[in-house]
């Protein structure tokens, strides 16, 4: 009876503050695990997580402009510039002047950039693949749906859609 009143007749037990707080902690611990593999690999280089993020998104969206990277990464241009400068100097990233608009710089991974990307990505994919496999396809669907809802709506367009077969 008390429950019915609180829940408005529906089963909304998954929305209690306790459940939400547990969700907050799950996200915290999971995200730390999720970043730990690449972080460990990057210790052998002079790079950090910021470089990883840049490399990931350049890989997934070859040819994006600096400006759109700023949008995606949500950092200042000064911050991104420091990272890009190093990656370009070290020959992992190539910056090509735009053909249509010559103010723009379009970013690409070089061969060795792709190699590092692959090393970082495969560690992270391995962790996710195991997690997905153990949870099963339905759980993964729910996982994705909740994450989509958590992010700022303006960011949803940046999640690269899957290629239809």
Catalog residues that contact DNA under the rule CB under 7 A. 46-51, 53, 65-67, 70, 74-85, 95, 100-105
Beta bridge partners of 107: 95
Beta bridge partners of 118: none
CA angle 22, 154, 94 (to 5 degrees): 105
Q: Where are the beta strands (DSSP E) in 50-156?
A: 93-97, 105-109
Burial of 1 (0-12, 13-18, 19+ CB in 10 A): exposed
CB half-sphere exposure, 84, CA atoms < 13 A = 23
- Residue 22 interacting with its own copies (CB under 8 A): yes
Q: Which does 96 bind (CB under 5 to 8 A by kind): its own copies, DNA, none?
A: none
Q: For DNA, give the closer residue by CB, 66 or 140.
A: 66
Question: Would strands 93-97 and 105-109 be described as parallel, antiparallel, or unpaired?
Answer: antiparallel
Among 53-61, 62-70, 85-93, 95-103, which window interacts with its own copies (CB under 8 A)? 53-61
- Residue 9 interacting with its own copies (CB under 8 A): no
Q: Which does 30 bind (CB under 5 to 8 A by kind): its own copies, DNA, none?
A: its own copies
Q: For DNA, give the closer residue by CB, 53 or 59.
A: 53
Which of 6, 7, 28, 76 touches its own copies by CB under 8 A?
A: 28
- Residue 155 interacting with its own copies (CB under 8 A): yes
């Amino acid at each position: 009876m008390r429950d019915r009143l609180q829940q408005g007749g529906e089963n909304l037990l998954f929305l209690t503050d306790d459940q939400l707080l547990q969700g907050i902690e799950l996200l915290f611990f999971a995200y730390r695990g999720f970043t730990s593999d690449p972080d460990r690999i990057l210790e052998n280089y002079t790079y950090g997580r910021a470089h990883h993020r840049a490399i990931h998104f350049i890989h997934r969206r070859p040819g994006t402009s600096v400006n759109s990277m700023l949008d995606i990464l949500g950092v200042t241009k000064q911050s991104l510039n420091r990272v890009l400068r190093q990656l370009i100097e070290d020959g992992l990233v190539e910056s090509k002047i735009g053909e249509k608009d010559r103010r723009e710089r379009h970013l690409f991974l070089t061969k060795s950039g792709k190699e590092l990307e692959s090393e970082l990505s495969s560690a992270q994919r391995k962790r996710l693949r195991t997690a997905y496999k153990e949870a099963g396809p339905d759980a993964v669907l729910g996982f994705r749906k909740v994450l989509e809802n958590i992010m700022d709506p303006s960011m949803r367009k940046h999640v690269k859609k899957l290629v239809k077969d």
